[in-house]
Amino acid sequence: MLIRAGYQIRLVTEQPTPMMAMLSLHPSRNKDLRSPHRIVTSPEVPMYDYLDAFGNVCTRVTAPEGGLLLSCDFTVQDDGIPDRVVPDAVQHPIEELPDDILVYLLGSRYCETDRLAETAWSLFGHVRPGWERVQAIVDFTHGHIEFGYHFARPTKTAWDAHQEQQGVCRDFAHLAITLCRCMNIPARYCTGYLGDIGIPPVDAPMDFSAWFDVYLGGEWHTFDARHNKPRIGRVLMARGRDATDTALTTTFGPVQLAEFSVHTDEVTGAD
């Protein structure tokens, strides 16, 4: 299956403003590209990429006075298989976890394990460890939070989402990640493209999406607390402890968002 994806983001600035952009595909998907993936800027300005501590591609650029348009359009091959379901995937004792996995048990900027630990154990302490416990956390989060774009705010944490019971996909992910970590299940935040592929059309603007991975049975598995069902066509951009590590743009000065559009569509024979 071929997926055509990309975006157009316009930022307005009053002075030259350095920024970082995490808008490239994750290196693990580079082999699947069927057309070049290149960030285009208008006006054209210098920029360069580096790999951050989590293996994500991060682009450094300075938006000139007046602003900058960032855009990209590419085609990627996907296997068209829904997210795997592995009911017998086991939860590892902490002492058996690899060293590089331990960081995904710790609290982070948007995932306050200290504030939700008691809640997590009261809700899921009786559930069988492993896949069943993670699914119970996803079921709870999916039913606990009401989705709505007007509920979004950049400072909202897992604790806030739990208390307010409202949010967007990143809030679903943050709450589920936090509850998993409280139950000693390593969990990491993921962001990328997720088109309306294999489901009825959705009457809403396309956007980037957030989901999460958990470490069970010696490997990472994908879960999605917002949709709570296996989906087709996830295209990973970045992953880390939470949204801090995967921010689409991080600017070092005042910036206004003037335009934001994302497209993610299956390429058909007619295309």
151 and 212 housed in the same domain: yes
42 within some domain? yes
pLDDT in tens, 83-92: 999 999 999 9
Nearest alpha-carbon partner for 256 in 97, 19, 5, 7: 19
Can you tell me the distance from the alpha carbon of 263 to that of 271, in angstroms, rounded to the nearest whole number?
A: 14
Same-domain status, 99 and 139? yes
| Angle at the Cα of 169 from the Cα atoms of 167 and 170, rounded to 5 degrees | 85
Q: Is residue 153 part of a domain?
A: yes
Q: Do 59 and 148 fall into the same domain? A: no
Domain for residue 29, yes or no? yes
- CATH of residue 16's domain is 2.60.40.2250
Q: Residue range 210-234: average pLDDT?
A: 97
**Whether residues 108 and 219 fall in one domain:** yes
Q: What is the mean pLDDT of residues 88-111?
A: 97
State whether 223 and 154 are in the same domain: yes
Classify residue 87: in a domain, yes or no. Answer: no
Look at strands 68-77 and 187-194 and give their pairing: unpaired
* Alpha carbon distance 248, 251 (integer Å): 10
Q: Judge if 121 and 199 occupy the same domain.
A: yes
pLDDT value, residue 200: 86
Q: Is 271 exposed, middle or buried (0-12, 13-18, 19+ CB in 10 A)?
A: exposed
In the predicted model, is pLDDT for residue 269 greater than 80?
no
User: 152 and 101 share a domain?
Assistant: yes
Q: What angle do CA 244, 99, 184 make, to 5 degrees?
A: 70
Instruction: Looking at the structure, tell me whether residues 105 and 155 fall in a common domain.
Output: yes
Total number of domains constituting the chain:
2
CB count within 10 Å of CB 175 equals 29
Q: Whole-angstrom Cα distance, residue 171 to residue 116?
A: 14
Query: What's the mean pLDDT in 255-262?
Result: 96
Q: Determine, yes or no, domain membership for 271.
A: no
Looking at the structure, tell me whether residues 62 and 117 fall in a common domain.
Answer: no
Query: For residue 203, what pLDDT band results from cuts at 50, 70 and 90?
Result: confident
Helices and strands, number each (H, E), in the chain: 4, 14
Does 79 have pLDDT greater than 80?
A: yes
User: Is the alpha carbon torsion for 263, 267, 269, 271 positive or negative?
Assistant: positive
Whether residue 124 is found in the same domain as residue 10: no
> Residue 271 pLDDT > 80, yes or no?
no
Kindly state the average pLDDT of the residues 228-251: 97
227-236 average pLDDT score: 96
Residue 88 inside a domain? The answer is no
89 within a domain of the structure (yes/no): no
Indicate whether 55 and 102 sit together in one domain.
Answer: no
Could you tell me which of 126, 103, 115, 122 has the C-alpha nearest to residue 186?
Answer: 103
Q: Does residue 104 register a pLDDT over 70? A: yes
Using the predicted structure, report yes or no on whether residue 160 has a pLDDT greater than 60. yes
* pLDDT for res 205: 82
Q: Tell me what pLDDT residue 120 has.
A: 98
Q: Are residues 189 and 72 part of one domain?
A: no
Q: What's the CATH number where 151 sits?
A: 3.10.620.30
21-54 confidence digits (pLDDT tens): 999 999 999 999 999 999 999 999 999 999 999 9
User: What is the extent of the structural domain holding 224?
Assistant: 94-231+238-245
C-alpha 43 chain-centroid distance = 29
Residue 270, pLDDT above cutoff 80: no
Mean of the per-residue pLDDT values for the chain? 96
Would residue 130 count as lying in a domain? Answer: yes
